[in-house]
Structure 1
C-alpha cells in the first residue's frame, strides 16, 4: 500500500467532487486510484487523475441533515447524497470505523445492487486502504463517501431475493458449492436492452446457489470461489457487455474485502447478497454464447497490471485489480480480455 501520501492527496482532491455525474453515472476515480496505489503505482495516481478530471462534477448541495432519528426517510434518496456523506463523516469521527461499518452493513446490504453495485465496490476499496495502513483523515472520509453514496442509492428489489424455482434444483444438484456451474445456470433476461435500472426490473427470479446456511468459514470459502468463478467467466463472456459484466466480479470481491472486519455472524448473509449481485449482473448482460478463453502465455501479474495502467480505463483497472486478487492464469486472461474489449483512454 502507498506510504508516500499520494493516495491521501488524491482522495483529498476527489472529495471536492460528487459520487456521480450527469445524474446517474458513477465517479470511479476513488476506486481506481486506490487500486493503483495498492498495486504499487502511486507514482501514476495524479497523472491518471488528471486525465479523468473532465468526468468529475462538483460536490452536491445538502438538503437536510440526516440524523439517527430521521435516517429511514432519507434512505435510497439520491438527492440526499451530501447529507448522507456528512452523516457518516460525523459517525466516523465519533466511533471506530469498524463499529460504524458493522452497524450499517445489515441496513445497506439488501440494497447492494443500488447504483449499479458501485457503492459497495467503493466501500470495498476504502476498507482495503484502512485495513492496510493508518486510519488517516482522507481515508476515513473516503469510507464516509462510500457509505453515504450507498445509503443514497440504496435500492431494494424484492424480486432479487433468490427464490425456489426451475433453477433451484438444477443448481443445488449440479453445482453444489461450484459457483462456476451456478453462474452458467443463471437465465438471461428476455430483453437485453436499456440501462442497469431498466434491466434490473426484468430480473424476477434467480436460482438459489448453495441454499443451506453455511458456517462463517464456509461462507468465506464460497465467496472466494464466487469471485474466482465470476472473474474467470469474464474471459469467455465479457463480450456480452464489456463494462457492466466487470461488476459480476468486482461487486462480490468488494464484499470479500470487507468480510474480515465484519462479525462472522454476518458472513452468510454477505455471501447471499454477493451471489445475488453477481447473478443479477450475469442475468442482465451475459451473452447467449461463450467464446474460448485465450491464455496469457508468459505474462506475469505485474505485467498485466502495467498494461491495465497503460490502457487507462477505470473498469479495466478495477477488474485487473480483482484478477490479481484471484491470482491465477485464467483471471489474468480475463483482465487481458477486458483490455481487448474496452477502448483505451486517449
Structure 2
C-alpha cells in the first residue's frame, strides 16, 4: 500500500497566466515618473472649474498628474484635448474672503473663485507644506467631499509639488484646496471616540449594509453617502478600528483591504467606478500623510478607512445584484494600456495600484488592474 502524501502537490501551472503576470509586473516595476508635460497641462486647466458640463467633478488635474506619475506624460496633451468639451470655466472672483471667518465659509459651494484667490495668496506668503498641513487639518473631516475627489486632487497636486516646486503647481494646489474648502461636506454620521480594538478586515466584517429600501442605485456616489443616516451602527462600528502602529505600514494594510473590497464588489462598470474610490482615496491619504505631521496622518488614515466602509455599506447591496467578479489577466504594460484606455478612473486606479505593487509586489494589485480592465470598457471616442 502506498503511504499517503504528507505534502501538497503543486497545482498545475498555467504558463500563459504566469507569463501575463510576469510581463505586467515587470512593466509596473519599470515605470518611472515623467513630469515634462505636467506644467503645460496644468496651465491649460488653470481657469477651469471643478465642475464639468454634466455637473460631475472634473478629474482632469488628477488624471494628468497620474499619467505623468506612471511615465505616460506624453499622453497627457491628447487626453486633455479629448476631454476639453466637458470643461467649464471657474468664473470671476467676488469679494475677498475673510480668513478669520473660514469656519462659516467652508462648504458653501458658491465661492470657488474666491477660495482660489485666497489660497494663491496664502501660498505666496508661506511655504506650501505649511499651508497644506494647516488646511488638511481643517478640512480632513470632509474627506469624502464630492466623493473624495477634492482630497484626491489635493494629493495629486501635492505630490507633483513635492517632486518639483513650480509656480504652476502652486496654483494647481491652490485650486485643489479651493475646491475642497468650497465643497466641504462631512459624512452624515456622529463621530465616536476611537476604541482601537479591531484590524481593518475585522472592522469591515461588522459593518451593517444598508437595507434594500435605502440602498442607492446607479446615481451619484454622494447620494449613497446621504443614506448613511439609515445605518444606525456605522459610527459605532468604524470607531472599533485600530489605527496604531507605523503609519506607512498601516496605510499599506488599508490599501490591501480596500483592494480586496474592489475585487469583491467591482462587478459592473458602475461598481468599478464606485469601488475605485475606495482604492484611490486610500492612496491619496497615504500621499498626504507623508507631507503632514504624523498625528494628522493618523486622522487621514481613519477617514480613508471610514470612506471605504461607507462605500461598502451603501453600495454592496447594488454590487451583489450582479454576477461574481470577472476573473482576468492583467494587460501587458498596464500603465501604457491605462493611458490608451483613456477613462479617468482607469488611469487613476492603475496608477494607485502600480504604486502599491511597487512597494509590496503583492499580486492582489495586478488582479485588481485586470478586473478593472475586464469590466469597464474604454470610452467611446467617436
Q: Same fold (TM over 0.5)?
A: yes
Match for residue 265 of structure 1 among 295, 306, 309: 295
Structure 2 CA distance for partners of 1:90 and 1:23, relative to 1, 3 Å: farther
Match for residue 55 of structure 1 among 63, 79, 86: 86
Q: Output the CA distance in 2 between the equivalents of 1:3 and 1:246.
A: 24
**Counterparts in 2 of 1:226-245, with a 5 A limit?**
226-239=254-267, 241-245=271-275
1:72 paired to 2:103? yes
**2:253 matched to which residue of 1?**
225
**2:137 matched to which residue of 1?**
106
Single out whichever of 335-344 and 312-321 deviates more from structure 2: 335-344
Does structure 1 conserve the Cα–Cα contact (< 8 Å) formed by 2:35 and 2:69?
no
Does structure 1 conserve the Cα–Cα contact (< 8 Å) formed by 2:188 and 2:228?
no
**1:332 matched to which residue of 2?**
366
Could you say what secondary structure the match of 1:19 adopts? strand
**Counterparts in 2 of 1:19-38, with a 5 A limit?**
19-22=50-53, 24-38=55-69
Q: Output the CA distance in 2 between the equivalents of 1:67 and 1:89.
A: 14
Structure 2 CA distance for partners of 1:110 and 1:273, relative to 1, 3 Å: same
Structure 2 CA distance for partners of 1:18 and 1:264, relative to 1, 3 Å: same
TM-superposed CA distance for 1:181, in Å, is 4.3
CA RMSD of aligned residues (A): 2.3
Ranked by relative contact order (alpha carbons within 8 Å, sequence separation 6 or more), the top structure is 2
Does structure 2 conserve the Cα–Cα contact (< 8 Å) formed by 1:323 and 1:331?
yes
Could you say what secondary structure the match of 1:261 adopts? coil
Q: Output the CA distance in 1 between the equivalents of 2:192 and 2:265.
A: 22
Structure 2 CA distance for partners of 1:100 and 1:307, relative to 1, 3 Å: same
1:341 paired to 2:375? yes
Does structure 1 conserve the Cα–Cα contact (< 8 Å) formed by 2:112 and 2:178?
yes
- After superposition, give the CA deviation of every residue in 1:166-220 in whole Å (9 maximum; x if it has no partner): xx9xx95xxx32x3443344332222324333321211342226545625x2x33
**1:202 matched to which residue of 2?**
227
TM-superposed CA distance for 1:293, in Å, is 6.5
1:192 paired to 2:210? no
Structure 2 CA distance for partners of 1:248 and 1:54, relative to 1, 3 Å: same
**1:312 matched to which residue of 2?**
342
**Counterparts in 2 of 1:56-205, with a 5 A limit?**
56-132=87-163, 134-159=164-189, 161=191, 172=197, 176-177=198-199, 179-190=200-211, 191-193=215-217, 194-204=219-229, 205=233
TM-superposed CA distance for 1:160, in Å, is 5.9
Q: Output the CA distance in 1 between the equivalents of 2:239 and 2:353.
A: 23
Single out whichever of 202-211 and 44-53 deviates more from structure 2: 202-211
Q: Output the CA distance in 2 between the equivalents of 1:185 and 1:336.
A: 29
- After superposition, give the CA deviation of every residue in 1:109-161 in whole Å (9 maximum; x if it has no partner): 011111111000111111111122x2101111111111110001101235163
Q: Output the CA distance in 2 between the equivalents of 1:258 and 1:187.
A: 29
1:42 paired to 2:97? no
Single out whichever of 180-189 and 243-252 deviates more from structure 2: 180-189
Unaligned runs of 5+ in 2: 1-32
Could you say what secondary structure the match of 1:26 adopts? coil
Instruction: Give the TM-score of the pair, scaled to structure 1.
Output: 0.88
Instruction: Give the TM-score of the pair, scaled to structure 2.
Output: 0.80
**2:324 matched to which residue of 1?**
291
TM-superposed CA distance for 1:23, in Å, is 7.1
Q: Output the CA distance in 2 between the equivalents of 1:188 and 1:22.
A: 33
TM-superposed CA distance for 1:106, in Å, is 1.6
Q: Output the CA distance in 1 between the equivalents of 2:54 and 2:107.
A: 14
Q: Output the CA distance in 1 between the equivalents of 2:105 and 2:367.
A: 42
Q: Output the CA distance in 2 between the equivalents of 1:24 and 1:161.
A: 30
TM-superposed CA distance for 1:325, in Å, is 1.4
**1:2 matched to which residue of 2?**
34
Q: Output the CA distance in 2 between the equivalents of 1:319 and 1:45.
A: 16
Q: Output the CA distance in 2 between the equivalents of 1:340 and 1:163.
A: 41
Q: Output the CA distance in 1 between the equivalents of 2:204 and 2:81.
A: 38
Q: Output the CA distance in 2 between the equivalents of 1:199 and 1:119.
A: 17
**2:23 matched to which residue of 1?**
none
TM-superposed CA distance for 1:71, in Å, is 2.0
Structure possessing the higher radius of gyration over alpha carbons:
2
